[in-house]
């Protein structure tokens, strides 16, 4: 069939718009009479504002208004603890509610002026006097105040222990234990957070926002300001990366809408790179692992305890330790997860939240235990392979992890690995090979889509989903084209608009499964209508034929038994005097299958590092990532997702660290000069393997999503490779040269 697009590498349909600069982002939409807002950030981590002096700033010609806690009141949000769709338990931060300071760089004023330059200068003239209280911002210093993590946000599952890990650990012949530290990290997408609000008569707003969910943003605005959804339209057609930072509406949305409603004008508020460090991050953690095994390599016990940080006002939770109870077969598992409240903003979901944090310590401990047994790390993992979900006791809908091991190891050349540390070298470069295993939930959320087929044979499909760079535009176009049998050039997919059918947040690797299933259902409904027209048509090659005897391909309705007998869809519609066919569809998870099966993606990562023996510098020279994620809609965009995730995993392992100054209570490397991320020279060969995996239970498309799975095991594999190269196990990320040389931990 010509219209066979699913599974084929396809270039991004939105690519030309992006490379020619025609794709517009939140801070690029023009509006008549547009004015600019600049946020003033607080300078202390905890305390209150004694006095805020805005007189000098307000005296400047062209400064329109300065919003502070002194002149903002009466909003519905201040009386109700409204939660957005990604909120953890607690009371969300509300700008300008009062004079309290709860975290460093808290927004304390918004200066609005005729030009951006004037607003920025005026913001520098705002004078603030504080009453400073003692703050606590470093997790390691306050572990004694840890408390059991509450239920937290929707989707968090309390870790469940089984058997008796303590006794099994004591009795075991081989055992390892250690403490692992994980520093805070920040999202830092290329596009910084910004909102442009266009005000219309009657307090109707058109809001262009950097967000991973236009409906979440719309709901936030209507609840905070007491508006109707009919009065607020949110658009986000393009997003320059987000990685989780756009799941919750950030404070620039609040401020832009506040100013627009007050001034009755279009307002734009953009955050600086430094301010991007002020509204959420991957939380730091302290983790303690204790594993044991019998002499034949059977895993006897797993103990995984984690301490995470959260804010004073919300209980942010992640599934950090749960994965350790399901990755391998083990009868005795003890899992514990506690939170420490600090004077910081609430942490925020960041690519593979929880899983990537817990995987490095766990996979490092697995590697260490394999060495204690003098077993090959891959052989040890295979020895303890879990055929069923160890936590839920359910079979997997599909699990091709063994194929990931086999194909990944073969591509990497794992069989040529010398097991002894420091036994492989190239001149003064110590060579290390390490590996890790990853799993992630394969979820499907409720989603809606609309498909409209016009009389000229063109298909327009829409859903209010997001595309944060993952390729959503492209794969939805592929799904629609193949389902309805059209050329891909005849299909247009639109997203990112609350005037479209509702879709979930783009996160959790569920967009392909969720929105894709809705798109498929909508196009199937249109297809059914086309086939009805074919049957009812008169004096055509397909007249009177049942739907079972017809197919649609390349814009034609064909007889299965005689493909030369055909008629174009446009001719059929014109004959029937049908101007268009429109269908809406909704798709969601199968509740019965959710009870019967566990849905996961799986991956095996193999990494090679080269460590300078004298300097301790580590370079990741190559990575092989083998992934089992059901049907791959587009190997090209999916491969890019995995490669990008591997790059971030390298960054996490060797470079990224948000450094907290405990005296200031502030992240001090809050720019891309001192917050280190990889450049081209840091990245070498990355091979991606998509293992064939058929799954007819997970969703109608059989897809699982690949956004998160590629990053999860990379840091652990690199840490294990560093040990293999040097004989020194680094437990504190990132792995810097001083730690490799044993000069610090």
For residues 294-317, one letter each, b for 16 or more C-beta atoms within 10 angstroms of the residue's C-beta and e for the rest, the string is: eeebbbbbbbbbbbbbbbbbbbbb
307 beta partners: 286, 338
- Rounded CA separation 642/623 (Å): 11
Could you tell me the two tokens for 290? 């204790």
- Rounded CA separation 276/43 (Å): 15
Cis-peptide into 342, omega within 30 deg: no
**Helix 635-654 and helix 714-726, axial crossing angle in degrees, nearest 10:** 50
**8 Å CB contact between 209 and 27:** no
For residues 616-640, one letter each, b for 16 or more C-beta atoms within 10 angstroms of the residue's C-beta and e for the rest, the string is: bebbbbbbbbbbbbbbbbbeebbbb
- Rounded CA separation 390/588 (Å): 26
Residue of 179, 657, 708, 745 marked active site? 708
Which residues lie closer than 8 Å to 626 by C-beta, 6 or more apart? 403, 404, 405, 407, 408, 411, 603, 604, 605, 689, 691
CB atoms within 10 A of CB 366: 27
- Rounded CA separation 677/185 (Å): 11
- Rounded CA separation 244/355 (Å): 14
CA 221 to chain centre: 23
DSSP letter string, 554-574 = TTEEEESS-TTSEEEHHHHHH
CB atoms within 10 A of CB 155: 12
Walk across the sheet containing 35-41 and list its strands: 63-67, 107-113, 35-41, 267-270, 194-200, 204-209, 232-235
To which residue do tokens 């971030």 refer? Answer: 648
Which residues lie closer than 8 Å to 14 by C-beta, 6 or more apart? 23, 238, 467, 473, 474
Active-site residue, 708 included: yes
- Rounded CA separation 338/323 (Å): 16
Could you tell me the two tokens for 152? 């937290």
Burial of 426 from C-beta contacts in 10 A (0-12 / 13-18 / 19+): exposed
Helix (H) or strand (E) holding 178, with range, is: strand 174-182
Q: Which among 451, 400, 679, 719 is positioned nearest to 583, based on CA atoms?
A: 451
Could you tell me the two tokens for 628? 């089992």
**8 Å CB contact between 278 and 255:** no
Burial of 50 from C-beta contacts in 10 A (0-12 / 13-18 / 19+): exposed
C-alpha dihedral sign at 735, 736, 737, 742: negative
Residues recognised as catalytic: 708
């Amino acid at each position: 069939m010509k219209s066979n697009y699913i599974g084929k590498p396809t270039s991004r349909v939105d690519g030309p718009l992006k490379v020619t600069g025609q794709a517009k982002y939140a801070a690029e939409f023009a509006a008549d009479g547009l004015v600019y807002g600049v946020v003033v950030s607080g300078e202390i981590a905890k305390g209150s504002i004694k006095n805020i002096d805005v007189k000098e700033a307000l005296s400047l010609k062209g400064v329109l208004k300065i919003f502070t806690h002194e002149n903002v009141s009466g909003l519905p949000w201040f009386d109700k603890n409204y939660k957005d769709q990604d909120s953890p338990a607690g009371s969300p931060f509300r700008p300008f509610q009062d004079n309290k300071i709860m975290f460093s760089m808290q927004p304390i004023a918004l200066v609005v002026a005729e030009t951006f330059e004037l607003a920025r200068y005026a913001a520098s003239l705002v004078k603030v006097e504080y009453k400073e209280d003692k703050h606590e911002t470093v997790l390691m210093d306050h572990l004694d105040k840890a408390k059991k993590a509450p239920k937290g946000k929707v989707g968090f599952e309390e870790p469940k222990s089984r058997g008796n890990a303590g006794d099994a650990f004591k009795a075991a012949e081989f055992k390892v234990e250690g403490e692992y530290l994980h520093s805070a990290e920040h999202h830092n997408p290329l596009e910084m957070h910004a909102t442009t609000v266009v005000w219309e008569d009657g307090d109707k707003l058109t809001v262009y926002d950097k967000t991973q969910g236009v409906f979440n943003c719309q709901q936030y605005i209507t609840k905070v300001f007491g508006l109707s959804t009919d009065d607020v339209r949110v658009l986000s057609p393009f997003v320059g990366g987000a990685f989780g930072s756009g799941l919750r509406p950030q404070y620039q949305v609040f401020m832009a809408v506040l100013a627009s409603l007050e001034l009755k004008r279009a307002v734009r508020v953009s955050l600086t790179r430094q301010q991007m460090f002020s509204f959420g991050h991957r939380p730091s953690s302290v983790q303690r692992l204790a594993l044991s095994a019998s002499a034949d390599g059977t895993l006897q016990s797993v103990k995984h305890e984690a301490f995470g940080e959260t804010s004073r006002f919300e209980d942010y939770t992640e599934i950090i330790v749960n994965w350790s109870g399901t990755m391998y077969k083990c009868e005795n598992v003890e899992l514990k997860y506690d939170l420490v409240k600090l004077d910081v903003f609430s942490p925020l979901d960041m690519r593979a939240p929880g899983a990537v944090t817990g995987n490095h310590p766990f996979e490092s401990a697995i590697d260490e235990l394999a060495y204690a047994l003098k077993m090959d790390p891959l052989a040890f993992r295979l020895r303890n392979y879990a055929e069923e979900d160890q936590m839920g006791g359910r079979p997997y809908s599909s699990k091709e992890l063994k194929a990931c091991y086999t194909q990944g190891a073969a591509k990497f050349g794992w069989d040529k690995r010398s097991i002894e540390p420091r036994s492989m070298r190239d001149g003064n470069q110590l060579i290390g090979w390490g590996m890790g295993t990853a799993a992630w939930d394969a979820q499907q959320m409720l989603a809606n889509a609309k498909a409209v087929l016009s009389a000229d044979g063109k298909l327009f499909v829409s859903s209010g989903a997001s595309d944060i760079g993952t390729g959503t535009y492209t794969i939805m176009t592929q799904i629609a084209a193949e389902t309805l049998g059209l050329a891909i050039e005849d299909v247009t997919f639109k997203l990112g608009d609350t005037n479209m059918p509702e879709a979930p947040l783009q996160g959790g690797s569920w967009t392909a499964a969720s929105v894709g299933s809705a798109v498929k259902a909508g196009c199937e409904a249109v297809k059914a209508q086309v086939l009805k027209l074919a049957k009812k048509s008169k004096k055509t090659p397909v007249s009177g034929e049942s739907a079972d005897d017809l197919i649609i391909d390349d814009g034609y309705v064909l007889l299965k038994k005689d493909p030369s007998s055909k008629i174009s869809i446009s001719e059929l519609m014109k004959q029937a005097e049908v101007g268009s066919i429109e269908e809406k569809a909704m798709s969601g998870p199968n509740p019965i299958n959710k009870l019967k099966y566990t849905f996961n993606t799986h991956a095996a990562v193999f990494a090679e590092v080269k460590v300078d023996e004298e300097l301790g510098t580590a370079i990741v020279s190559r990575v092989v990532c083998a992934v089992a994620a059901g049907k791959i809609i587009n190997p090209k965009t999916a491969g890019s997702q995995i490669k990008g995730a591997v790059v971030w995993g390298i960054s996490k392992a060797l470079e990224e660290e948000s450094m907290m100054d405990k005296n200031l209570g502030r992240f001090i490397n809050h720019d891309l000069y001192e917050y280190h991320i990889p450049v081209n020279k840091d990245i070498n060969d990355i091979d991606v393997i998509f293992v064939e995996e058929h799954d007819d239970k997970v969703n109608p498309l059989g897809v699982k999503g690949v956004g998160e799975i590629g990053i999860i095991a990379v840091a652990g594999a690199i840490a294990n490779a560093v040990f293999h190269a040097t004989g020194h196990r680094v437990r504190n990320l990132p792995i810097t040269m001083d730690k490799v040389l044993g000069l610090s931990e």
